[in-house]
A = this chain, B = another copy of it.
Amino acid sequence: MDKHSPIHITLEQRDEAVTITQWVYSSLRRAVMLGQLPPGRALTIRELASLLGVSPMPIREALRQLSAEGALEIQGNRRVMVPRMTAMKFNELVEARIALESHAAAQALPYMDSDRLAQIRTLDDQIDVAEAAGDAETVMQVNQDFHRLIYTANPHQVTMPLIESLWLQLAPFMRVAASNLVEYYQIDRHHEAMEAIARQDAIALRLAIAADIRDGCAFAASPETLQALISA
């Protein structure tokens, strides 16, 4: 049944109030985020359907949505797979993140209030704890929440879906790299960002976000790491 490598997806509890398609979507989305789907591996509808225990229909819809979001790629053969990464593409994704997220942060700054800043500080503390425990998985997860909580201060959301798309494209490769090395440098950048928010200093915030992203992705941009990611 398995073409090349077997696939294992950690299923989450199925909520009755939600449609099967939505459940399949979030399941597959997390599988992509966690790097559970090998890049280049062809995903067949029927295989995923039996894997998740549903009919092919919700799988089709979820795959199309994920493809539209850049998480998956539809080849000419009409086969769908996790896109393969290249060093140049990785760099482009990081640069796009910097451009979009520093902009999103600046646009969100005027809407920031003390409540939200307090929540952001809480997340930063959680990252601290996870970092000390060497839990790279949680660090990445909460780090995303940290960034999202900043950008979503802006009630007129147009950038967040675009940013999520970039995260989806980077995540499977970031994770492989992150497992090698738990970083602690981000703390400084996060503090810079939080101070900039407190001061309502847009320029400083942009710089802090940009530096945070660049630092967080720099280790993966080393030739040997990238090579490992690509061939993986």
A: which residues have CB within 8 A of B?
A: 19, 60-61, 64-65, 67-70, 78, 86, 88-89, 91-93, 95-96, 99-100, 103, 107, 154, 156-159, 161-162, 165-166, 169
Contact = CB atoms under 8 A, between A and B. Distances in A.
A119 to B, nearest CB: 22
A89 B88 CA distance: 33
A69 B159 CA distance: 12
A169 B158 contact: yes
Copies of this chain, count: 2
A68 to B, nearest CB: 4
Contacts of A99: 99-100, 103
A66 to B, nearest CB: 8
A103 B101 CA distance: 12
B96 A162 contact: yes
Nearest to A101: B99
Contacts of A68: 64-65, 68-69
Given A19-B78, A64-B65, 10 more contacts: A61-B61, A61-B64, A70-B161, A88-B156, A92-B159, A95-B103, A96-B162, A99-B103, A162-B165, A162-B166
